[in-house]
Chains A and B, each alone.
Chain A
Amino acid sequence: MFDRRLIENFDWGFLAVILLIGSCGLVILYSAVSAGWQGTGLHYLFEKQMIWMGAGLVVMMGILVIDFRELDKLHLLIYALCVGLLVSIYFFGQSGGGSRRWLSLGVVNIQPSELMKISLIISLASLYATTVSPEGLNFKNLLKPAVICIIPVALIINQPDLGTGLLLLLIAGSVTLFVKVEKKVIFTLGGLLICIVPLAWMIGLKEYQKARILTFLDPDRDPLGTGYHIIQSKIAIGSGMITGKGFLQGTQNALSFLPEQHTDFILSVLAEEWGLAGCTVLLVLYFFLLLWGLNIAYNCRNMFGSILAFGITAMIFWQIFINIGMVMGLMPVVGVPLPLVSYGGSSVITNMVGFGILLNISMRNFSKA
């Protein structure tokens, strides 16, 4: 049952990149939680994050034991389980910050919307693996994936967690485009969207809803709230200049000008203390991570595995892009964490599960069925 080739084929390089980014993340988090004119009282978060990272690695290793092809067979079960968790939030969910996102499991709280990302990718990979064709997918092929996508997205946006909902759509969209869609389908759907959006804007939305969306797209419309946060974030990043102010020397972070400095805005802490040099290192590491992911997708001789690997790479990519873009004032402000760097157990575990699957695919691509 155990194949020695599995060890031989283990992707040590990929694991190294993950560990490197994770270590950088812990250093930055240490800055974020320990700076301050009299301490931020958040020090325990650093220790918690270490525990999460450790737990994440264990989960990652655990995933290696099962052949990823089992996921193909189990995808409906996993999907049903995750949707079930999302629904149960409405009954047993914990509120926080105006939305219900968490399920309490005694010691830890989990965020089912995070697990849903992985589950959706598995389901889409499973569906597309059977329908993929060089000509691209037609309308009929897209029907089932659309349904599978809309259910969790609607549930998550309703929590309300717009950020994760949109992220799910972006991932699903990327995977779909990756397996190729017929041109006429793209044009028709695109055309439809162009017609519906302005119509919905004019008729369907109330004034305050429009205002909320406009603020989301342009934080400057809310100069006392998100707009102010973006300015402070830009000041923090810019003030790092080329080499940064030095480890634990950041002032923007210290004065708690920034909201969520240890979660969503953590990149500004890195940029302030380590400058352009530090940011470039992290960007390069991320770039490697993503290319490695694509490489795994390419090398996999199994369609399901390829799409799955691509989907997980897309998931990591969108989080990086949205988070960094947001912190630098290029993207709307949504609560998307920076993989392996932002504080947060659910995010760490989800990403580790993702990496585990990638490693899993990578070490099994010798086995041609």
Chain B
Amino acid sequence: MYELNKNADRDWIKQRIMAAGLCILIVFVLLFLRLVFLQLIKGEEYRRLSETNCVRLKSIKQSRGLIYDRNKKLLVDNRPSFDLVMVLEDAVSVPDTVSFLSSLIHEPYADLMDNIQKAGNTAFYKPVTLKKDISRDQLAIVEAHKFDLPGIHIEIEPTRYYIYPKMASHLLGYLGEVNREELQTEKYPHVKSGDNIGRYGVEKSFEPFLQGRRGGRQVEVDVNGRVVKVLKTVPPVSGNDLHLTLDFSLQQMAEDLLKDQEGAVVAIDPANGDILVMASSPSFDQNDFIGGISNEKWRFLMDHPGHPMTNKAIQAEYPPASTYKMVTAIAALEEKSIDRHSTTFCPGYYVFGNRRYHCWSKYGHGKLTVEAAITQSCDVFFYQAGEKVGVDALAQYANGCGLGRATGVALAHERAGLIPTAAWKRSRFQESWQAGETLSISIGQGFNLVTPLQMAVFTAALANGGTLYRPRIVKSIEDSSGNVIKKIEPEITGGIPAGKNTLELVKKGLLDVVQGDRGTARGIRIKGIEMAGKTGTAQVFSRKTGEKFDNKKLARTLQDHAWFVCYAPAQNPVIAISVIIEHGEHGSTAAAPVAGALVKKYLGFSELENKTEPAGEG
């Protein structure tokens, strides 16, 4: 049916074909004219440009975003780094130039040549970095011999600079060169080989914001590779600045107090979960990572027995010890296993099955209510309370208090800790839960593991009436001209599963730990500031009940870890702190004074603030 057989149709199709042919002709004439324009009219010019290969791209590196503390104190900056680069094509003889250069700046010839080898063969006309961050002296020599060094250039690039070396290193993190696999993923679309990316801490977590974007220039260069004309420029875009919740002066104090010890300190604002302090000791110098850390330095850090590369605030898990008794108390009160008036008699031990479970006080605490048991940290009271609640219910309350799960802080490698249940033990060890183990976990020993950050969040929640916040590190992200790009609001992640009365009771017990005459941390009392806290002594190495050990004679690495958690002022808390000192033996003597000093400093500081702003609530 679609046969066209009439003459009219032949004409019709002929007309269509002719029109199409005409279009093709026009387009081909157009293409031809363009060829004539490029090859005849502009041919000479392009021939010249091609002979010197002189239209090149020069990259302009952007500045990475800066990092400030909560009081707008600058913590992480950029400084100029002078990099020695070489354009191989411009060098008359690559080995001659490099060997002359090597004699001038006293750098091994082999190292410099190595970098050229590494760049591969695609980079013939692209600058190859010979040496990053040369010294001022080397710079002066190279500049003076500029004309004897064809193809050698100095590039000035912004480089990361940590103003306070070793301070808050774990929180701020460090940078490292991007590797090939990472470049192949589409995670870093604007990152090129040789660029640094955040490897740890907030540098890593907030990489997309801090990064910024490289710019560049299209330039025309002369035979010696010097720029004669800038053809086009794309300005670099600086990274965005981070404003942390960190109080740097408090952080510095915490790090000083931790000096020569192993441990961690976390301080949180109970009102919103802001991290005021996150210190981990021993620390490391982030500036060592700039331009690649040397092998010896890396080996030293990795082999160090104190694990300086671990952020102990979030990556180290410790038995919570007596700081866990708040959880047991809450569980027992809420489950109605005990009430505020029920008492237990502590003779210094508790017989369960055919074993004696000892209290830390071998003479016993006598007759105690829950409040007094917290204050005096009586083990016997909590053995019995925990036994009544049972392991699984206890675990439920611990989870409700934010333990056994990651807090969700914006830092990589956070550990979740461990809150055991009967089911967990079955699947982990193929063994059923022993009732005696419930006694151990009731006082925070046994399988229980927590991180210092989890304890700080829990303590902050006790302080603020039960609200668990996601710990916040970055308050806001601003671009380089100060416009707010992103505000990070406080985020509630849960609530302590306890009624008001229960919380008040527990808090009263905690208050007496410091303020009461029989409190375990009464030694750190500060005049004028009421503080509430809880000490803990975590056994590193399990000893048989009843066995006697003289701690002083034990090897240091087998000595107990010292815990202290607290908040202040007790009535209207503005800071919650958790401190762990590894092998510090006693919470009251090793950990509590650190917290006490921080509270004193922080509150002294806020008092001054309050005086200037009397509008605050009375």
Contacts and interface: CB of A to CB of B under 8 A. Distances in A.
Interface residues of A, number: 63
B122 A256 contact: yes
Contact of A287 (B12, B14, B24, B30): B24
Given A255-B124, A256-B124, A295-B17, 5 more contacts: A98-B186, A238-B47, A252-B50, A256-B122, A271-B35
A270 B336 CA distance: 89
Interface in A216-263: 220, 223-224, 227-228, 231-232, 234-242, 251-252, 255-257
B13 interface: yes
Nearest to B28: A287
A321 B31 contact: yes
Contacts of B5: 301
A302 interface: yes
A-B pairs, top 3 by smallest CB distance, nearest first, are A238-B46, A239-B50, A223-B232
Contact of B46 (A38, A234, A290, A304): A234
B181 to A, nearest CB: 15
B49 interface: yes
Interface in B40-55: 40, 42-47, 49-51, 53, 55
B492 interface: no
A163 B20 CA distance: 23
Contacts of A147: none
Interface residues of B, number: 53
A242 B40 contact: yes
A174 B19 CA distance: 12
A298 B13 contact: yes
Contact of A291 (B9, B24, B35): B24
Contacts of B218: 223-224, 227-228, 231
Contacts of A332: none
A228 B56 CA distance: 8
Nearest to B15: A180
B38 A224 contact: no
A276 B40 contact: yes
Contacts of A13: none
Classify the secondary structure of A's interface with B: helix
A298 B17 contact: yes
Contacts of B14: 298
B91 to A, nearest CB: 14
A78 interface: no
A234 B41 CA distance: 13
Contacts of A38: 121
Nearest to A290: B24
B1 interface: yes
Contact of B28 (A37, A129, A174, A283): A283
B46 A237 contact: yes
A271 to B, nearest CB: 7
Given A237-B39, A241-B43, A130 B231 contact: no
A220 B232 CA distance: 9
B47 A280 contact: no
B35 A280 contact: yes
Contacts of A302: 2-3
Nearest to B41: A238
Interface of B: 1-5, 8-9, 12-14, 16-17, 20-21, 24-25, 27-28, 30-32, 34-36, 38-40, 42-47, 49-51, 53, 55, 57, 59, 89, 121-122, 124-125, 186, 215-216, 218, 231-234
Contacts of B186: 98
B2 A324 contact: no
A238 B28 contact: no
Given A236-B50, A251-B51, A306-B13, A241 B24 contact: no
A328 B57 contact: no
Nearest to B53: A255
A89 B540 CA distance: 57
B229 to A, nearest CB: 13
A173 interface: no
Given A298-B17, A303-B2, A303-B3, A239 B32 contact: no
Contacts of A134: 8-9, 12
Interface string A97-111: 010000000000000
20 contacts: A178-B16, A231-B55, A234-B46, A236-B46, A237-B38, A238-B38, A238-B47, A239-B49, A242-B39, A251-B51, A255-B89, A272-B50, A291-B24, A294-B24, A301-B3, A303-B2, A321-B31, A328-B31, A328-B34, A330-B31
A317 interface: yes
A303 B125 CA distance: 57
Contacts of B43: 238-242
A239 B231 contact: no
Contact of A328 (B16, B38, B55, B234): B38
A287 B34 CA distance: 16
Interface in A302-352: 302-304, 306, 310, 313-314, 317, 321, 324-325, 328, 330
Nearest to A132: B2
Q: Which of B24, B57, B89 has the most CB of A within 10 A?
A: B24
Contacts of A238: 38-39, 42-43, 45-47, 49-50
A256 to B, nearest CB: 6
A328 B124 contact: no
A304 to B, nearest CB: 6
Contact of B1 (A37, A130, A237): A130
A1 interface: no
A178 B125 contact: no
A283 B38 contact: no
A192 interface: no
B36 to A, nearest CB: 7
Given A37-B124, A255-B125, A279 B55 contact: no
Contacts of A269: none
A26 to B, nearest CB: 22
A220 to B, nearest CB: 8
Contacts of A295: 17
A239 B47 contact: yes
A22 to B, nearest CB: 20
A251 B50 contact: yes
A203 interface: no
Given A223-B218, A224-B234, A232-B55, A276 B31 contact: no
B125 to A, nearest CB: 6
A283 B32 contact: yes
B8 A224 contact: no
Interface in A258-296: 271-272, 275-276, 279-280, 283, 286-287, 290-291, 294-295
Contact of B32 (A178, A272, A280): A280
Nearest to A243: B39
A200 interface: no
A291 B55 CA distance: 40
A369 interface: yes
B2 A178 contact: no
A286 B29 CA distance: 12
A297 interface: yes
Contacts of B124: 37, 255-256
Interface string A121-144: 000000001101010000000000
A241 B39 contact: yes
Given A303-B3, A321-B27, A234 B121 contact: no
A10 to B, nearest CB: 22
A235 B31 contact: no
Nearest to A321: B27
A227 B231 CA distance: 12
Contacts of A242: 39-40, 43
